[in-house]
Chain A
Amino acid sequence: MIAESGHYALVLALGLALIQSIVPLIGARLRDAALMNVARSAALAQLLFVGASFIALVMLHVNSDFSVANVYENSHSMKPLIYKITGVWGNHEGSMLLWVSILASFGGMVAAFGNNLPLSLRAHVLAVQAWIASAFYLFILVTSNPFLRIANPPIEGRDLNPVLQDIGLAVHPPMLYLGYVGFSISFSFAIAALMEGRIDAAWARWVRPWTLVAWIFLTLGIAMGSYWAYYELGWGGWWFWDPVENASLMPWLAGTALLHSALVMEKRNALKVWTILLSILTFSLSLLGTFLVRSGVITSVHAFATDPTRGVFILLILCLFIGGSLSLFAGRATSLKQGGLFAPISREGALVLNNLLLSVACAVVLFGTLYPLAMEALDFKMSVGAPFYNLTFVPLFALLLLAVPLGPMLAWKRGDLLGVTQRLLAAGVAALVVIAIVWAWTRGGSALAPLAIGLGVFVIGGAMTDLSERTGLFRLPFATTLHRARGLPRSAWGAAFAHAGLGIALIGIVCETTWNSEYIATMKQNDVAHVAGYDLKLDGLSQRQGPNFREMIAEFNVSRDGEKISVMTPSKRNFTTRGSSTTEAALLTRGASQLYVSLGDATADGAIAVRIYHKPLVLLIWWGPVLMAFGGMLSLSDRRLRVGAPKPARAKQRLQPAE
């Protein structure tokens, strides 16, 4: 019954979405408020039904109802409860259901909190949301129904892929989807603006918080995914330039650009057309990501050709939405009025540069992701990996980082580059000193690493300089500074934290890639490995039975200079149902650095292959994004006071954009 109810709820949600796609638009044409208001109730009801459908699937998984194909293929009665729940989205059908549920939640939030939006704008936005939703409901119902029954129910399920039986699955996909799908809101706003032929600063004030919410989730989602890969896959890599990762990085790059261009539009009423285009492109890249991951095209172009229903369906959605929105853009963009003027050297100019570099970097990633697919279709097989991106993406991003400290300090309209450079002198000097110190410390090493670390320091220093300039630190009495700091808009703090986060992540990346030490060997009991000043002694191996696996645990005593620090217990798990094994690495955190131990195969004479890494400052790689997300939240809490206020006079109106 639960499965059928879930299926039925999903069909009803599709029906509601279809109503929501059409009726509000007719209402807007006829200027009929009642018809336009249908959008609101339809969006909320749609959320209710998708939610019910999603909960139904969760219940089926929790109850281990193996008469449902999706549960049979991805669950096991012995699996711990948490993985029964997270396993819901650890497979194609369930993750698509999560996708539409999140889409409906965003629509529901616009409906619930959009009371101060112009009625026709809200009607348009929700209608566009419903178009997207209808397409994906159809996709799920036609090609990937999670509620399909099996005629002869088996007694036991086939278990979830062991790699996915990890807490990372509970956090990473929902976060990532909140980011991906969150950009649908700015997309819908952009389409609505084009359809209405009207766009102003109030529009940007509405779009920015939604973009920011999506961006925060996407930032955290990507960082979380990277950390998950780092500890789960057992060899300490944290970014692979894999097409699936690129699929999440591209919307992030475009979304970051959108965040900045919406700022120009909100503050200066300029870059309107570009902001609209970026909104469309960002969500298009999210759709492209969904297509790449969900169609099987990454596994092989030929796999896509042999089982084309899903892939072709998503490709159709992709073409329809990207093609349709871009044609609409081409037709209507010229009707949007030009905004404020600015000199090339100004805050606006800096933000244009930011947008330029981000979108070009995004284009490079897009090229690197699609080029091998195109070549494979022509029967050339090749791989585009880290070396390609190191030669293309990295220089572009370095250029961007070099400009990051300058941007926020330039004045709007017309800036004084010389003055800003002088004020950044302290940050520049700090960077040079750090370069010199690192250079001296690591004599004979790569010249790039100290320079890159210096760049990171410059970015962090620039963020601090910006704050101290605004608060008058060291120039004014301390009490005045404190007062000013309190009065500073939270978005200024947010920007500074986010920019500093970039610098911190950069330092982490450089340190980890340059000074990572590795020790791979077979070890026997009482063997000692020396890695980066640490001594790891293998105390012994033991076996343990887990709920749905057996594991072999190795115990390492870690000491430094004869002083005992800790015990590390990496393990290797064998999952009987799937007959596959996973490597559970052991991590020991020392400050921001980590020791990393993972196991290979045991040999016949009782020895075991071991990989030990020392990863200096590796945690900075993820602290950086966390700081960026924190900056985003600060900025969001500032925006909340002004969201959607059509006139500055109504600025006090409290409204919560999205939580």
Chain B
Amino acid sequence: MTRKQRRMTIIGGSLAVLALAAALVLNALRDSIVFFSTPTMVAEKHVEPGKRFRLGGLVQPGSLQRGDNLAVTFEVADGGAKLPVAYKGILPDLFREGQGVVAEGALDANGVFKADTVLAKHDETYMPKEVADALKKQGHWKDDYGAKASDSVKPAATTAQGNPQGAVR
């Protein structure tokens, strides 16, 4: 092989790997991206049952009901609309009525949001960022949420409790 041919082989190989990676990324972007919505956005846009998304808002005070064997239902509100959520499992340490929450899952046929993950962070003053932004935009922001979570050098320390996507298992 001449020098030129060798170089072409390497360049060709590189392009092939790059093309493979690009194809994988594009394919993954189509299927695995999870968008964020608030109850108002769900009410405005028709969201198909079964389509996964992240729901964020405040837990409606008085809406939390505990059923048998760790089943819970509560409502997520953002001032404009409310959406019932059903979840089975242990709620995060900081889950409280009136506070911010992010749940991941999909709507069922009855319009109930079946969550398989409920996220809340460890810090008392923490407000999930999507919720804070959405509430700010809709004018329901209270300043006392503003004091943000303190710094931490530990990566997972600021990670939400709960299984982020379910696929880790």
What are the residues of chain A within 8 A of B69 when measuring CB–CB? 521-522
- B168 near A356 with CB under 8 A, answer no
Q: How far apart sit A353 and B18, CA to CA, in the bound complex (Å)?
A: 12
Q: Which residues from 1 to 32 on chain B have a C-beta closer than 8 Å to any C-beta of chain A?
A: 1, 3, 6, 9-10, 13-14, 17-18, 20-21, 24-25, 27-29, 31-32
Contact A609 B130 (CB under 8 A): no
| CB closest chain-A residue, reference B36 | A381
Question: Which one, B6, B161, B165, contacts A234 given CB within 8 A?
Answer: B161
Contact B28 A391 (CB under 8 A): yes
Which residues of chain A from 211 to 249 have a CB within 8 Å of any chain B CB? 225-226, 228-229, 232-235, 237, 239-242, 244-245, 247-248
Q: How far is the CB of B41 from chain A (nearest CB, A)?
A: 10
Q: Which of A524-532, A575-583, A647-655 contacts B (4 or more CB under 8 A)?
A: A575-583
B149 touches A520 (CB 8 A): no
B43 beta carbon closer than 8 Å to chain A = no
Contacts of A380 in B (CB 8 A): 35
Whether the Cβ atoms of B156 and A228 lie closer than 8 Å is: yes
Give A161-192 as 1s and 0s: 1 = Cβ < 8 Å from B's Cβ atoms: 11110001100110010000000000000000
Chain A residues, Cβ within 8 Å of B149: 299
* Pick from A232, A361, A363, A388: contact of B29, CB under 8 Å: A388
Give A161 to B156 CA distance when docked, in angstroms: 13
Within 8 A of A (CB), among B120-163: 122-124, 129-130, 132-133, 148-159, 161-163
Cβ B122 vs Cβ A580 within 8 A: yes
Q: What chain A residues lie within 8 Å of B9 (beta carbons)? A: 344
User: Quick check: B164 and A240 within 8 Å, CB to CB?
Assistant: yes
Contact (Cβ within 8 A) B156 A609: no
Confirm or deny: B94 has a beta carbon within 8 angstroms of a beta carbon on chain A: yes
Interface size class of B (residues with CB under 8 A): 35 or more
Verify B13–A161 contact, CB threshold 8 A: no
Of the candidates A361, A385, A582, A603, the one having the most CB atoms from chain B within 10 angstroms of its own CB is A385
CA distance A300 to B1 in the complex (A): 53
Between B6, B123, B162, B168, the greatest number of chain A beta carbons within 10 A of the residue's beta carbon is seen for: B168
Could you say which interface size class chain A belongs to? Answer: 35 or more
Q: Are A387 and B165 in contact (CB under 8 A)?
A: yes
Q: Tell me whether B114 is interfacial, beta carbon within 8 Å.
A: no
The residue in A91, A240, A520 that gathers the most chain B C-beta atoms within 10 A of its C-beta is: A240
Closest to B150 in A: A161
Hey, which chain A residues are within 8 Å of B14, CB to CB? 356
Scan residues 67-95 of chain A and give those whose CB is less than 8 A from a CB of chain B.
73-74, 89-92, 95
Interface, chain B (partner A; CB < 8 A): 1, 3, 6, 9-10, 13-14, 17-18, 20-21, 24-25, 27-29, 31-36, 54, 66, 69-70, 89-91, 93-94, 122-124, 129-130, 132-133, 148-159, 161-169
Given A242-B159, A580-B124; 15 other pairs, CB 8 A cutoff? A91-B150, A91-B151, A161-B157, A162-B122, A172-B154, A173-B154, A176-B153, A225-B154, A232-B157, A360-B20, A388-B32, A388-B33, A516-B169, A578-B124, A580-B93
> Which residues of A come within 8 Å of B, CB atoms?
73-74, 89-92, 95, 161-164, 168-169, 172-173, 176, 225-226, 228-229, 232-235, 237, 239-242, 244-245, 247-248, 293-294, 296, 299-300, 302-303, 341-344, 349, 352-353, 356-357, 360-361, 363-364, 367, 380-388, 390-392, 395-396, 513, 516, 518, 520-522, 578-583, 600-601, 603, 609, 611
**9 tightest CB-CB pairs across the interface, nearest first?**
A229-B156, A387-B32, A600-B90, A381-B36, A244-B155, A391-B28, A92-B151, A385-B165, A300-B129
